[in-house]
Each structure stands twice: as C-alpha cells, then as structure tokens.
Amino acid sequence: MNLTNIAVIENIVEQHAEEAAFLWLLRDDAVQAPHYSLKDLADLDERVEAHIDGLRIAGDVGWSICADALAQQEEPGEVFAAAVLAFESGQDQRIKMVLEAAATEPELSRGLISALGWLRFDQVKGHIDQLLRSLAPELRRIGIAASAVHRQDSGSVLIDALNDDDTFLKVCAICAVGELGRIDLLPVLKKQLTAEDKDCQFQAGWSAVLLGDRDDALELLKAVAVSDSPFRDRSLQVALRAMDNASAQKWLKDQAQHPDLLRYAIIGAGVIGDPVYIPWLIEQMEMPDHARVAGEAFTMITGVDLAYEDLDGEWPEGFEAGPTESPEDEDVEIDQDEDLPWPDPELIAEWWNKNKGSFQNGTRYLLGKFISPEHLQHVLRHGFQRQRAAVALELAMMHPGQPLFEVRAPGFRQQQILGLK
C-alpha cells in the first residue's frame, strides 16, 4: 500500500473518531430532549455505533487516533470513543490510559461511564468488577455508576460507599440505591438527609422518596424545589408525584405567587396533571418567556402534540432567548426551551373549549389519559424522551423497590427490553 492510500485511510478513520465523539454529545442532549422519541434515539445511536465500528475495523490505527484525540481534546465525547475501544479490547494499557485521563474529572468520567453502559454487560462485567475492587474511590465510583446504568447491583461495595469519606463516591452510591430500587437501604438514606454536603442531601432525598419515603425526604425535596439549587427541577419532578393531589395543588399555588418560581410552577402543573390548570396555562402562553414551557405542560396533561395538531404559532417578534450573535452580549446561557414548539393561545383555547368535556378536574392525567400501568408502558415505548423520563418515575414510585427504567440507555437496547426490536 502506498503512502497516499495510507493517508486516505487515516483521514477516514479520523472522521470516524470525530463523528463518534460529536454524535455522543448530540445523544447526551437527546436523552433528555422533548422532541426525541425512542426510535429517534435508537437511530442516532445506530449512527454512533456505525462510527465506532469504523474505528474497530481500523484496529490499532483506530485506537491510536482515538488516543491522540483523547490527549488533545479532553472532552467527554472523545473519552467515550476511546473508552469503548479500550474496554472492548481488554488491553490493560489502553484501559489505564482512559482511566488516567478521565476518572478524576466528573465531567469527563460521564463519557467513560457511558462507554461502559454502551457495551453489553457481559462484555464489561470483568472490568467493572476490577473497578469495584480498586482502592481508589474515583474508580469504585465509576464501577458503581456503570453497574447502575446496567441496573446491576454492586453489592457490598455499594453499601460501603454509602458511608465513604469521598463525597463523589457517596453521592454516586446514594443515587444508585434509588435507581436500583434498594428499598432495604432506605434507613441508610434517611441518615444522609442531614449530611453537611448539599449534593448528598439532595440525592438522599431523591432516592428515599423514589423508594417510598413521604416524610423528611419529601420535605427536603420540597425545600430544594423552591431554592436556587441546580437540583430543583429534579426535586420538583419527584416531590409533586409523591404528594396527594390536594397537597400538591396547595403547595404549587403558593409557589406560583413568586415571579422567580413561576416557570417551575408551570412545569409543576404538568407534573400534577390536573386539567383544572389548563385555563391558567393558556394564560401563561401569552407571555413569551413562559409560553413554550406552558405549552409543554398543556401537552403533558392533554396529550395534544401542538405541532402535529397545528396548534403552534410563530416566534414572537422582538423576543430573544439564549445567546445572540452579538459579541457584546454577555448572556451565554442556552435557550432551555429551544426544542419546544411555540403555542398559539387562541387556537389552543378553541381546542380546549371543544374538548374539555372529556377531562375531569381533580383527576391526574398524563398525556391525555388516566395514569395506569398499561398507559405508562405505552408512553415508555412511544413517547418522547422527556415524557418517557416522567413515566419512568411514575412506574418506579407506583411500585417502590422496582428499579427505575433507564431511558438514557442505548436506544437499540431499550427497544429490545421493551419488545420493539
């Protein structure tokens, strides 16, 4: 083979590495997106897998290019691509390189954990067991997290980690307890509700409520949901589902009085699912800042796809959200509603006037139907990712001790589990 052919081949392999890393970043957003279905996620993941396969076929050249990208970029997408090849190869030196690059950095280790979750459990069980036996807390953390992604129990290592001095390890273990449905460990979680570390407190509350606690853990989540904590949305999603309808409505009414909590009150209305909120939500659609999230809450209750039913409108003239192209604009926060349709309040009000007789105030709805195991399973198969995440919470809380369905797992594997492939 001449040098020109070698250069062409290396260029193609480099493209595989770049695309695998880039597409992982896309799927990292897609797993929690309001407009991605399981089929969409599976299609995206097939694209990721195709580029990973290109790297596999390239053998040592594929690994060398991924290793160089890992050293130069230090981004979770590059970590993911390199880690898949490393753990799949079973070569200690490659695995060591990936672990040294990513294990101690929480953001980078997400790509590493994702890679261990990407591969079949029988492919990575031996590697995960090694991580769990490590003396280094950051490696045990990765082992516990990777086990939890596969919904596998890491046993005594998980229990010991609940009281470890390493905060990151402890938080990971507390989260895994909730995801795995380890209801037997609920007493241990309750002790962490008063931990000094706020991350430990929140995660203990989240896992405990998921496992059936409706006392101190629920009160903690309610407090987090009205704070400026980065966990307030996750707290809201679980806390409102844990309350009875009357308590949830009273609590939400109190929060809606505060302008800085209005967005979360709107989201909360969709979580509660009571159609009594529909007229109020339509009013919120008149305000550009809250219109799209109010439209999403309307859909969560009624099941109406605004775009499909032609109930969406145009971007309001003069309204700006997210960073602009102006170099003088210091606001770099992304538009958190960019993937939601713009609701047309007048058209939606007309739809509601025609269809409100099909809904009963005081009853919880999710996507237009009463909450039942059968309906939840249907949404898990056919809903969008954000809806599927809500349904996973509903199912876990309906049956405390049942593992939380992992809606972030590779789409093709979820399809197999759900009997869709």
Instruction: Note whether 18 and 137 are same-domain residues.
Output: yes
Is 321 part of any domain? no
Domain boundary residue among 127, 151, 175?
151
Q: Is the pLDDT of residue 337 over 60?
A: yes
What domain range includes position 29?
A: 1-151
- Interval 35-45 mean pLDDT: 98
Residue 18 shares a structural domain with residue 135: yes
Give the pLDDT score at 3. 40
CB 116 within 8 A of CB 142: yes
What tens digit of pLDDT does each residue of 120-149 get? 999 999 999 999 999 999 999 999 999 999
> pLDDT per residue over 163-177, tens digit each?
999 999 999 999 999
Domain membership flag for residue 126? yes
Quick one: tokens of 277? 């909120």
Angle at 363 between CA 264 and CA 212, to 5 degrees: 65
Angle at 102 (CA atoms; ends 156, 173), nearest 5 degrees: 25
Same domain, 20 and 107: yes
Rounded to the nearest angstrom, the gap between the alpha carbon of residue 100 and the centroid of all alpha carbons in its chain is 26
pLDDT digits (tens, 9 = 90+) for 221-232: 999 999 999 999
List, for residues 356-378, the tens digit of each pLDDT value: 999 999 999 999 999 999 999 99
Neighbours of 336 (CB within 10 A): 13
Of 221, 242, 263, the residue that ends a domain is 242
212: how many CB neighbours lie within 10 A of its CB? 14
CA distance linking residue 247 with residue 240, whole number of Å: 9
Q: Which of 395, 363, 400, 364 is nearest to 379 (CA)?
A: 395
Q: Do residues 55 and 11 both lie within one domain?
A: yes
Q: What residues pair up with 370 in beta bridges, in sequence order?
A: 365
Looking at residue 324, its pLDDT comes to 54
Confidence category of residue 4, pLDDT binned at 50, 70, 90: very low
- Evaluate whether residue 300 is within a structural domain: no
Structural domain includes residue 12: yes
Contact between 313 and 292 (Cβ < 8 Å): no
pLDDT at 319: 83
Strand partners, 366: 369
CATH number at 163 reads: 1.25.10
Q: At what angle do helices 3-30 and 60-73 cross, to 10 degrees?
A: 60
Q: Is residue 346 part of a domain?
A: no
Q: How confident is the model at residue 44 (pLDDT cuts 50, 70, 90)?
A: very high
Name the helix (H) or strand (E) containing 365: strand 365-366
Q: What is the pLDDT of residue 8?
A: 45
Q: Which amino acid is at 36?
A: Y
How many angstroms from the chain centroid is the CA of residue 279? 30
Contacts of 219 (CB under 8 A, 6+ apart): none
Residues 143 and 188 in one domain: no
Tell whether 372 is covered by a domain.
Answer: no
Give pLDDT, residue 327.
56
Domain identity same for 82 and 138: yes
Inter-CA distances, 172 with 91, 160, 190, Å: 27, 12, 16
Q: Using one digit for the tens of pLDDT, what is the confidence trace for 288-335?
A: 999 999 999 999 999 999 999 999 998 888 788 766 555 555 555 788
Structural domain contains residue 252: no
- Which of these three, 101, 127, 151, is where a domain ends? 151
Q: Are 144 and 186 within one domain?
A: no
Q: Do residues 392 and 380 make contact, with C-beta atoms less than 8 angstroms apart?
A: yes
What number of CA atoms fall less than 13 Å from residue 161's CA on the CB side?
A: 32
Asked whether residue 6 falls in the same domain as residue 74, the answer is yes
* pLDDT higher than threshold 50 for residue 350: yes
> What is the tens place of the pLDDT at every residue in 192-251?
999 999 999 999 999 999 999 999 999 999 999 999 999 999 999 999 999 999 999 999
Where helices occur in 31-105 by DSSP H, the ranges are 38-57, 60-73, 76-89, 92-102
Co-location of 164 and 146 in the same domain: no
Number of structural domains (the chain) is: 2
Question: What is the mean pLDDT of the segment spanning 86-109?
Answer: 95
Percent of the chain at pLDDT above 70? 95
Q: Is the pLDDT of residue 2 over 80?
A: no
Pair 81, 227 in one domain: no
Question: Looking at the structure, do residues 5 and 142 belong to the same domain, yes or no?
Answer: yes
d(CA 376, CA 182): 22
Q: Which residue has the tokens 């192209």?
A: 325
Establish if 365 belongs to a structural domain. Answer: no
377-416 pLDDT per residue, tens: 999 999 999 999 999 999 999 999 999 999 999 999 999 9
- 161 and 144 housed in the same domain: no
Based on C-alpha coordinates, what's the Rg of the chain? 23
